[in-house]
Structure 1
Amino acid sequence: MEVFEPLEEQPTTSDALLSTGRTCSLLLLLVLLAWATGQPFLFPSLGPSAYALAVTPSAATSQWQRALGGHFFGVVSGLLAYHTIAPGLSVTKIPPAMSMPGLQLVAAGFLSVALTSFAMLRTDLRHAPACATTLIVGLGLLTSALEAGIILFAICVLVVADHVLPTTGVEEPPQ
Structure 2
Amino acid sequence: MLAPWLRVMWWLARPLRRLPPTAITVLGVVFAADAVLLAGSWPALAAVVVIVAVLCDGLDGAVALVADRATGFGARADAVADRVSDVAFAAALWRCGVPLAFAAVCGALALMVDGVRRLRRVPSRVTVGERPTWAICAVLACGSAAVTSAHWPLLVCASVWAAAGVVAVIQVARPSDRSALPPQRPGPAAE
Normalising by the residue count of structure 1, what TM-score does the alignment of the two structures yield?
0.29
**Higher Cα radius of gyration:** 2
